[in-house]
Amino acid sequence: MDLLQNNFSTFLQGFGYTLLSSVIALVVSMILGTFFAILQILPQKWVQKVGNIYVQVFRNIPLLIITFFFFLVVAKVIPMNGFTAGTIALSLYTSAFIAETVRAGILSVNSGQMEGARANGLSFWQAMQHIVLPQAFKIALPSLGNQFINLVKNSSILAFVGGLDLMYQGNMVAANTFDTFGTYIIVALFYLVITLPLSYYMQHLERKLKHAA
């Protein structure tokens, strides 16, 4: 408990950065993931290929390497700190998984939904936006929830590039107090403060949508 009291502001700062990075990465990866999911279902073969390559690249490379790539290589051209580099890497990495999840969601929406909308006069994008995607997200919700929780935990990658997040501050506290065990238990509890409400909220959303239909 002393450990927590003495280093509370440090933990809190780390918590703040972890939360900030997670929220940014969540929004960005949802947008990118949805975009690349749609690319992969467009009729043009080469567009599909582009979407597929993006997903394969970012899904199959360890997050740490993507992070170091931005932190050590890209930063030479476009200066960015560890927080930015880590958050970008986290967004791209997660977006590849979200793209796969959303694509599966879109494919499991009955093709009659798109046909009905097109025959009704809607453009492809209007049909996507108003009819197909809302249903796809609903189908994909449970596994999107998993992706979000993984995202929060994966944000600990920031610690490797001085991203000031919870894990980073935990490393510092552990190094200064020499109480590794206690420090990481506190760090774990802070992560739970984010992930538990998140998973509860996702379950709640799932239930709500199930009843709405």
Partner 1 sequence: MEKAKKRQFGIIATIVLAAVIVLGLMWATATAKKNQEHQDTLARVEKLGRIVWGVKADTKLFGLMDTKTGVSKGFDVDIAKALTVQLSKQTGVPMSAEFVPVSSSSKIQLLKNTNIDGTVSTMTITPEREKIIDFTKQYFDAGQSILVKKDSGIKSIKDMNDSKYTIIVVVGTTAAEETKKFAPKAKLLAVQDYATGMQALKAGQGQAMSTDNAILYGFATENPDYQIVGGTFTHGPYGIAFDNDQGPMIRETNKALATLKKNGVYNKLIKKWFSNVPGLDWHELEAK
Partner 2 sequence: MSMIEFKNVEKYYGNFHALKNINLEIDEGETVVLIGPSGSGKSTLIRTVNGLEEIQEGQLLVNGFDLHDPKTDINRIRKNVGMVFQHFNLYDNKSTIENIMLAPRLVLKRDEAENKKMAMALLEKVGLADKAANMPSELSGGQKQRVAIARSLAMQPKALLFDEPTSALDPEMIGDVLDVMRDIAKDSSMTMLVVTHEMSFAKAVADRVIFMADGQILEDSSTEAFFNNPTEPRAQQFLSQVEHH
The contact set with partner 2 (CB under 8 A) reads 110, 112-113, 115-123, 126, 130-131, 134-135, 138, 212-213
Cβ 175 to partner 1 shortest distance, Å: 4
Contact status: 191 vs partner 1 (CB under 8 A): no
Cβ proximity of 124 and 62 under 8 Å: no
| CA 71/CA 79 separation, integer angstroms | 9
H or E, element range at 119: helix 111-119
CB of 29 to partner 1, least distance (A): 24
Q: Check residue 203 for interaction with partner 1 (CB under 8 A).
A: no
Rounded least distance, CB 78 to partner 1, Å? 11
**From 14-22, 141-149, 173-181, 193-201, span contacting partner 1 (CB under 8 A):** 173-181
Place of tokens 């970008």: 88
Please report whether residue 162 would count as binding partner 1 according to CB under 8 A.
yes
CA-CA distance, 30 to 49, in Å (whole number)? 20
The tokens for 98 are: 């979200």
Q: Does 176 bind partner 1 (CB under 8 A)?
A: yes
Say how far apart CA 152 and CA 201 lie, in whole Å. 14
- Does residue number 3 form part of the binding site for partner 1 (CB under 8 A)? no
- Cα separation, 6 vs 69, in Å, equals 35
Judged by CB under 8 A, the stretch of 44-52, 110-118, 127-135, 158-166 that binds partner 1 is 158-166
The structure tokens 């043009």 sit at: 44
Residue numbers at the binding site for partner 1 (CB under 8 A): 68, 71-73, 75-76, 79, 81-82, 159-162, 168, 171-172, 174-176, 178, 180-181
